[in-house]
Amino acid sequence: MQRFEQPEQWEYLSELRKRVDELLRGGRHRTALDEVLNHLRHDPESTDALFLALMILSQSRTELLESSEPPTNAQRISALLAPIKTECSSCHLGWYSIHALLSANDRASLTVFSPAGLQCQNCRYTLCRNCLRRPQSYTVPVDMPEIVSGFCPSPGCTEQLTTPVLPTGRHDVTPMDPDGIEGVVVARDGFILPTMDEALVVVTKFLPLIADDAPLIHIRRSTPGMMSDESTRDELAQSFVLKLEREGVMAPGAWARSRRMFILAGAASDTDYLITVVRKGEQHASPADPRRGTHMATYTYLLQILANNGVWSIIRDPHSGNLIEGSLGAVAAPEEMLPDIAQEIIKRFDSISLKRRVVFFEGDRTKQKLTTEDVYGVFIEGSEIVAPYSDDPA
């Protein structure tokens, strides 16, 4: 999700502001934040709603704890609030910085002593206090404030890390239209089923959903060891989705419309979750979105890497000579889903440091020779679209 960029002027949500103000004066921060989240669920890019959320969450810790309804942890980590979060570029520690409120419309110039973090004003590279690694100064009195600064470690950047520290967004949230989600399958490692409340905490952290979306969630039982590697996780997720298809809960072809997320929630094995998101098919298309409802087609995908000689190549097992498992396959999906499918394929091979791309061929050609005449398009790592085919390295 894109980070929050505060415009010079924006349209105020007078009714929402009135309700939030009344709730905050009564110390009901939790309900006030629920009001904002409910609005963001239907308008995730609302500047005023994001500004109100930041205003609530950036209040002092004492004020929040002493309120009659302090915000919950599930609210604080909601994916809907990802655009206003500030995240350390090194360790990914996140917090809500008050600097965006103080510098609204350039009304204030900030010089912060003992800041929670520092940020490059050019590229927005951010380091939290723990990652700054500032050596202890022994040349000044202990009660004298020191201004912290340093050079931006981002390659090619020569600016300094200073304040203000503005929102950067979160790295682990993927934009997704909540109205385009048919269902979310949740399984936790181990024998014990998670409760709906536990599932909601994990789901809403990574997907732009709220508690009212609980009917979309399908909780399923796993067994220890089934989430130990990617292949068993895929098998487990596929078995859940196919069973829901057979039961008539999901529309046909749900597995081709699914996206898997493995969540390492903690050190203990029973805190790991497998989340499978299934997008709506054409029969569930929303009339408000003309991109949905397009024809389902079959595409063959092929992962390629940019070799050191500058040529796009396929990756093969050095011993058998066969294609690496998972780098070639066929999917049945709408055209607009191809970028998401390509991203998932590329993520499977994160251990490969070379540049990657996915080539889509029309039809199921997993058992036939692939030729450039059959290529539908190419997805380059870091892109957002499937572009016309090209042999160029960039």
Two tokens at 34? 């629920």
CA-closest candidate to residue 273, choices 193, 343, 169: 193
**150, 153, 157, 159: CA torsion to nearest 10:** -10
Q: Any idea which residue has 């991109």 for tokens?
A: 291
Q: How many other CB atoms are found less than 10 A from the CB of residue 35? A: 19
Which residues lie closer than 8 Å to 95 by C-beta, 6 or more apart? 85, 86, 116, 117, 128
CA-closest candidate to residue 5, choices 96, 88, 100, 128: 100
Q: Classify burial at 364, counting beta carbons within 10 Å of its beta carbon; exposed 0-12, middle 13-18, buried 19 or more.
A: middle
Helices (H), the chain: 14-25, 29-42, 47-57, 61-66, 73-76, 99-102, 129-132, 196-206, 230-246, 338-347
The confidence score (pLDDT) of residue 14 equals: 92
Please give the DSSP secondary-structure letter assigned to residue 383. -
Which of helix, strand or coil describes residue 292?
coil
Q: How many other CB atoms are found less than 10 A from the CB of residue 243? A: 14
The confidence score (pLDDT) of residue 157 equals: 85
Residue ranges in the chain whose pLDDT is less than 50: 107, 136, 145, 147, 267-269, 283-294
Which residues lie closer than 8 Å to 320 by C-beta, 6 or more apart? none
Q: Could you tell me the sign of the dihedral formed by the alpha carbons of 379, 385, 388, 392, in that order?
A: negative
Q: Any idea which residue has 């810790």 for tokens?
A: 61
Summarised one tens digit per residue, pLDDT across range 263-305 is 765 544 457 888 999 988 754 444 444 434 445 678 888 999 9
225/240 Cα distance (integer angstroms) = 16
Q: Classify burial at 146, counting beta carbons within 10 Å of its beta carbon; exposed 0-12, middle 13-18, buried 19 or more.
A: exposed
360/305 Cα distance (integer angstroms) = 14
Which residues lie closer than 8 Å to 116 by C-beta, 6 or more apart? 95, 97, 128, 129, 165
C-beta separation of 315 from 303 below 8 A: yes
The confidence score (pLDDT) of residue 139 equals: 57
Give CA angle at 218 (216, 223), nearest 5°.
155
Please give the DSSP secondary-structure letter assigned to residue 254. T
C-beta separation of 196 from 165 below 8 A: no
The confidence score (pLDDT) of residue 143 equals: 56
Helices (H), 70-112: 73-76, 99-102
Q: How many other CB atoms are found less than 10 A from the CB of residue 147? A: 11
146/110 Cα distance (integer angstroms) = 15
Q: What do you get for the CA distance between the two ends of the chain, in Å?
A: 25
Summarised one tens digit per residue, pLDDT across range 46-101 is 999 999 999 898 777 777 777 888 999 899 999 999 999 999 988 889 999 888 77
Residue type, 148: V
The confidence score (pLDDT) of residue 142 equals: 52
